[in-house]
Amino acid sequence: MALAAFLFALSVSAAAIKLKEPPLASPVPHFEHAYTVSRLPSRGSIQAMSELRTVDSVIRLTRGNGSSLSSLYVQAMRLQDTGRKEGYSRLTTGSLPLVNIEQGTVFLAPVTVGGQDFDVVIDTGSSDPWLVSTGFDCVDPYTHDDEPEDYCYFGPLYNPSQSTTFTPIPNRNLNLSYADGEFINGLMGYESFTMGGITIPQQQFSAVNFAGWYGDGISSGLVGFAYRTLTSAYAGTDPKADKAGHQISYDPSFVNMYTSNTTAPVFSMAMSRNENEGGVMALGGIPDIPHSPCWISVPIIPVGVNASSGEVVYEFYTIVIDGYAYSSDQSAQFNPYASANSRKRSLVGNGTQAIVDSGTSLMYVANDVAVGVTFAFTPPGTCDPSSRTDPTCYVPCHSIPPVFGVTIKKKVFFVNAQDMILQNGVDDNGIPVCISAVQADLKGLTILGDSWMKNVLAVFDIGAEMMRFSAREFYGLGSYGATASPGGYS
């Protein structure tokens, strides 16, 4: 798919009333946002690829309750593609097909700020680090009505008065809003940040004092891992006076780590299929987990989500993939090269650009590929991407999945059969409903989500603007360890 296929404008409704225990059919307010998706310019000087070393600066991720920020933008676009106008939010309610799984996954990590410990959301598509502070004002994200603090449902609050390292930045504020209507405002300051055993003595961040938020009761803020061009600090202390395009850039936490030579400009992620765990994230290298000795490198194509104001409000890491390999024949062999080989099957969907996003649960591929994969289950499933009411690809919960893989630089990265079927609730008779992990992209964004990323060690080489992948053994990630079984490498 050419990059031009990513360039489309979309209007989307979003947000839902926040309740501690929301009913299944919450009223959904409507308000309009328009987005475009475009390629972002290169970051300038590009470094040589970093040597990949096993590092001790490893963060254990946990899965939070709620939805990822990346899924806000993905599903906003998909709602428009299907002609649906329902609202969408990180609040885990609703009765739309796939709503729970399509909301993605929030990954949380521990961080120490000013000597205080918190869990924060890790987000590769945004840049600003922020924590909600004591005495903050909570409002409903949609109505803006004043609410008690627990309505926003944050975890522990950051207290600047208990820190000996906090320094406020005069006349500077953070102003962030998200696709579902959530927003935060706060004062900027410098503070000691420690993550993965690495300390930044003076990290610029925001102590949030005004929030309309759908919290999870655990996380106290967010740390972004995108580039500094997405930071959202503004001059002055009145967010109402902030103007689009007048942001004051600053270095996010990971940028500070590698520009100060504390670590290499690389982070890596290995996701766990154990729902009680999230996986691991290594700063400056890779974690000590089993993986193939073969690495594949591919350039990062930075793709931005633009608001109607022209601001880039989110960023995706995008790569070019060769295509897909799939077959109901469990012993099938595939030919990732153009040469004729009658003994091997050819790839489908050649030359596709795909977003790599752990916050999206599923894989979104070309419509015809999704249909083909669905029919390759034994027994086959059903899939109608042309449906404007339910384009979901369903499969029997007891099906045998086909062999399925994604090819990058002529190497096929196969997906474990355990990751190919997801249960998505029950029907009116209480019978489980299952879907394929490979869903139709509805001629929109192609995404390699969590179901695929569980099968690779993914390296984000920011300095070289490259992504690198190594296949993982078909594992059970527990304490970094794994019991290997055949099939993970190809």
* Domain around 150: 114-262
Ranges assigned E (strand) in 252-331:
266-271, 279-283, 296-299, 301-307, 312-321, 323-327
Best CA proximity match to 118, nearest among 231, 212, 223: 223
Is pLDDT above 80 for 83?
no
User: Are 50 and 268 within 8 A, CB to CB?
Assistant: no
With H, G, I as helix, E, B as strand and everything else as coil, classify residue 449: coil
171: CATH: 2.40.70.10
Query: How many folded domains does the chain comprise?
Result: 1
In a domain, 162, yes or no: yes
In a domain, 281, yes or no: no
How far is residue 437's CA from residue 454's CA, in Å, rounded to a whole number? 12
Better-scored residue on pLDDT, 103 or 241 = 241
Is pLDDT above 70 for 488?
no
Is pLDDT above 50 for 364?
yes
Count, residues in the chain: 490
User: Are 413 and 469 within 8 A, CB to CB?
Assistant: yes
In a domain, 161, yes or no: yes
Q: Which residues contact residue 330 at a Cβ distance below 8 angstroms, ignoring those fewer than 6 apart?
A: 403
- Number of Cβ within a 10 Å radius of residue 402: 25
- CA 328 vs. chain centroid, Å, equals 30
Residue with tokens 């809003």: 177
In a domain, 354, yes or no: no
In a domain, 107, yes or no: no
- pLDDT (average), residues 309-331: 88
Q: What confidence tens digit (pLDDT) does each residue in 409-461 have? A: 999 999 999 999 998 888 888 899 999 999 999 888 899 999 999 999 999 99
Burial class of 131 by CB neighbour count within 10 A (0 to 12, 13 to 18, 19+): buried
| Catalytic residue numbers, as ranges | 123, 357
Confidence of residue 335 (pLDDT cuts 50, 70, 90): confident
Question: Pairing state of beta strands 438-440 and 363-365?
Answer: parallel
Point out the least confidently predicted range of 113-127, 142-156, 347-361.
Answer: 347-361
Best CA proximity match to 124, nearest among 4, 1, 268: 268
Q: What confidence tens digit (pLDDT) does each residue in 26-65 have? A: 223 233 456 677 887 776 678 899 999 999 999 999 988 7
Tokens of 205: 């961040």
Point out the least confidently predicted range of 231-245, 296-310, 317-331, 426-440.
Answer: 296-310
Q: What confidence tens digit (pLDDT) does each residue in 174-214 have? A: 999 887 788 999 999 999 999 999 999 999 999 999 999 98
Q: Which residues contact residue 119 at a Cβ distance below 8 angstroms, ignoring those fewer than 6 apart?
A: 62, 64, 108, 109, 110, 111, 155, 218, 219, 220
What 8-state DSSP symbol labels residue 88? Answer: -
Best CA proximity match to 367, nearest among 435, 443, 421, 434: 443
How far is residue 125's CA from residue 70's CA, in Å, rounded to a whole number? 7
- Number of Cβ within a 10 Å radius of residue 60: 17
Could you tell me the CA-to-CA distances from 62 to 65, 266, 271, 390, 452 in Å, in that order? 10, 21, 10, 31, 18
Instruction: Look at residue 65 in the predicted model and tell me its pLDDT.
Output: 74
In a domain, 353, yes or no: no
Query: In b/e form, how buried is each residue of 256-272, taking b as 16+ CB within 10 angstroms?
Result: bbbeeeebbbbbbbbbb
Instruction: Look at residue 282 in the predicted model and tell me its pLDDT.
Output: 96
Better-scored residue on pLDDT, 411 or 488 = 411
In a domain, 332, yes or no: no
In a domain, 131, yes or no: yes
With H, G, I as helix, E, B as strand and everything else as coil, classify residue 195: strand
